[in-house]
Amino acid sequence: MSVLDRVNSPEDVKKLDNAELEELCSDIREFLVETVSETGGHLASNLGVVELSVALHKVFNSPTDQIVFDVGHQCYTHKILTGRKNQFSTLRKEGGISGFIRPVESEHDIFSSGHSSVSVSQAIGLAKAKKIKGEKGKVIAVIGDGALTGGLAFEAFNNGAYGCENLIVILNDNKMSISRNVGSMSKHLTNIRTSKGYFSLKSGVRHVLAKIPRLGNVMNRIFTFINTEIRKRVYNDATFFEDLGFRYYGLIDGHDIESLISVLSAAKEHNHSVLIHVNTKKGKGYDPAEKNPTQFHGIGKFDVATGECNSGGENFSAAFGDAMCALAEKDGRICAVTAAMAEGTGLAEFAGKFPKRFFDVGIAEQHAVTFSSGLAKNGLIPVFAVYSTFLQRSYDQLIHDVAMQNLKVIFGIDRAGFVGEDGESHQGIFDVSYLNTIPKFTVYSPSSYDELFYMLGQAVYHDEGAVAVRYPRGREKLMPEDYHYDNSDYSVFGNSDSKNCIITYGVEFSECYEALQELADTFIIKLNKIKPVNPDVLKLLDCDKNVFFFEESIKSGSVGEALAALLEENQIYASYRHICINDDFVKQASVESQLKAYNLDKNSVVSIIKEVSDV
């Protein structure tokens, strides 16, 4: 029986000695590689934090001690250790466990997660609440160095150290390096400072000094000053955190289980906010992931023996990247901006070809938008490529720094609509609604790669002000053989005198077009530009028609709602049905299953229209 077979809860971890813990880490790595090869998921980051996750559950008492994982994509070992090992084959599957932290799954999961840079803010709030209520336990935030590029993390650090004696922040650093000399000294000093003898000695010295008449308090202040200055000089880069009020421990080898347990145990006994700087390696223990952590950050099914994944090939992200390169070849004003997602948004080739016009700003979507406004103000044409779910973080900047300034900034909105297995936090179902609220903003929604290419060109050269081109995850679907995009705001398929009218946009058009082949007395209006909706669409509608609007968007603020308002204002009292996502967060499942669940797949379109037509 392996050590992992004996571990089903944090209490089981606490019973193991260091040798058994090392064996447990090895078992977990093997388990993760085997499982994720079948389910897909975030592998490299999870392989990097195995020892750290085990050490956390060895030292702390979750959920009394609350562990908050930033983003949550590195939570797999945590899930295995907190009772979900036997469910792990359902990872990211419909009805299974999430690839992120979800409180509905376990009391050990504190917040639902999915976006970065939030853990320290959340942890400070938890720690303050515990203190006010007099509750026991520490609050531990685990944040990666990449998440520190997000401004929210620094806002939290600025606010959080003082008055949070029960707060521990673990900085998981898998990119930064430290010189050998400084590293050796800092390791030696950390070993001293985390020993029980050091705590006893320091406490005893302070106690003795305090008893000296008149000079005691002064000598204690001098002692504290000298202690602090020595730490700053030895730790060097820790000055920032020390100045913010954190006690700094680092750099700790994140794969040395004994060192991790030692420093976490010392931090647990502290009555002061602590920052522990841990160095880890992404993909640790699986050679293909170590060599290519970017590919194995978020990966589909793969062959364990070779590391080969068959999920590549043409898709909307790649088509966007090709279009960007083609446009940039001809126009030196075109720049690409990304928020740490060059590969995911298809911009890797652009970065190689046009390095001076490629800007990766880190996980900082708000900055990316405002930075783009600066590029635009001085005559360049910035294109910010961003996942729909992450652009949500920049709503204020979209309004104030781009639209209100009437600047030409282009937004390539990737992963628009359903995204599948990543679940609630990653569905691209909100961008239509929030962009609809912003004046002077134009939005296109292509249904094919060709449309994406031409709409991007149209956005760059023909539209005024801010323009978004939104497109889905994955590959294009069925399109009419004789269809060619002609820069029109909408296209009509079928006889517009028909009784039933389907209105849709984006790749949902393909589902509706397939349904059209099985429907009589029906035509489709495909919206190419979804903001603003061309009012000429209304000329194709009248009170005698049955109008069905299908869209992969949340209902509130959607295009379907905007069209319903136009119908009302123009006194067109057609029978109107709006099929969309009504006040809901879309759970993990395949995109096909999500389409079916919300009546947006081909069969549902056919069924809904036939039901009305047969009445």
Active centre residues (catalytic):
282, 365, 393
At 74, phi and psi to the nearest 5?
Answer: -105, 30
Count of all residues that appear for the chain in the document: 615
Which H or E run contains 407?
none
The token pair at 600 is 């947006």
Which amino acid is residue 491, in one-letter code?
A: S
The token pair at 235 is 């730790």
Residues 6+ apart with CB under 8 A from 207: none
Sheet containing strand 139-144, edge to edge, reads 66-69, 139-144, 167-173, 274-279, 247-253
| Contact status, residue 411 vs residue 391, Cβ threshold 8 Å | yes
Q: How many helices (H) and strands (E) does the chain have?
A: 24, 17
Cα angle vertex 372, ends 369, 378, to 5°?
150
Whole-number Cα distances in Å, 484 to 150, 184, 217, 471: 42, 65, 83, 18
| Contact status, residue 154 vs residue 148, Cβ threshold 8 Å | yes
Residues 6+ apart with CB under 8 A from 329: none
DSSP 353-395: H-GGGEEE--S-HHHHHHHHHHHHHTT-EEEEEEEHHHHGGGH
- Asked whether the bond before 63 is cis by omega within 30 degrees of 0, the reply is yes
The token pair at 189 is 């000093």
